[in-house]
Amino acid sequence: MQVLIVDDSAMVRQVMQSILGTDSRIHVKAAADPLIAWAKMQKDRPDVVITDLEMPRMDGLTFIRKIMLEMPTPVVVCSGLAARGTELALRALEEGAVEVITKPKVGVRDFLHEAAVTLMDAVWSAAQAQIRPRPMPATPKLQADVVLPRKNKLQCQGAPPNSVIAVGASTGGTEALRVFLAGLSIDCPPVAIVQHMPEGFTRAFADRMDKECPIKVAEARDGDRLENGRALIAPGNRHMLVNRKGGELVVQIVDGPLVSRHRPSVDVLFRSVDFRWFKGNWRDYDWNGR
């Protein structure tokens, strides 16, 4: 696998190269800014690009946009700007990045070494992503839909009582979730979502989906009820479970170890909605598997 690291910090490039270089299947190249990186990509197309967002001569968002338009390639963002505010990180995902890793402004070397497993997982997951070209947006041709929209939302009528839609997504899942949630009708069954995403990102992502989608979307809180026409997204760094409380379904937000290297974990959510497997209270669950 060919990986191109784009970062104006020589130290960051060196540390990332040493981490990824521990896997003999990965061949790493590096560039100090997007223009140098683009020249290298013309000669030898990488399988994955790791890029910062704040760089000389071209910012990271513009670089990602250029890649998706002219040479669609999986992009992993590793940036300190994402740590300051999730808005920029979400914009990077919207532009086509498949994963975001936030790095601190100080102690970057130690952080990258500690996050070596996360970095390696992100690169291998990104390499499996199916990236499609993103054409320049055309001026919309207005039709009658702008005044009287068609009734083309997904209809979920007739769902059995206490039904719930459980959704899990990892690398590249934010765009898929946006399309999915935008297609649901306001009377759809409740939706429980785990998107593998760092702490802090999930609330910003939920707020954005709430503005763009016809149903209500929120970051889940412990004890929230699962209601029709509402989607709850697991908070970053906490597991989310579905449980019964009387005649209602509620979510429980719990701590616990990483499951399949993730917290929140898709596996945990899916296990919780299989009521045939567990019929007690999740607060009594033994994380060692009993």
pLDDT digits (tens, 9 = 90+) for 120-167: 988 998 888 877 766 655 555 555 454 445 555 555 555 556 689 999
Q: Give tens-digit pLDDT for 214-270.
A: 999 999 999 999 999 999 999 988 999 998 887 789 999 998 888 887 889 888 899
Q: Are 187 and 156 in contact (CB under 8 A)?
A: yes
Alpha helices in 116-265 (DSSP H): 116-127, 173-182, 201-212
Domains and CATH numbers, the chain: 2-127 (3.40.50.2300), 151-284 (3.40.50.180)
Between CA 109 and CA 66, with CA 121 as vertex, the angle to 5 degrees is 85
183-223 pLDDT, tens digit per residue, is 999 989 999 999 987 777 888 889 989 998 999 999 999 99
| HEC assignment per residue over 124-142 | HHHHCCCCCCCCCCCCCCC
Output the six-digit token pair for 177.
Answer: 């979730």
Model confidence over 10-48: pLDDT tens digits?
A: 999 998 999 999 999 999 999 999 999 999 999 999 999
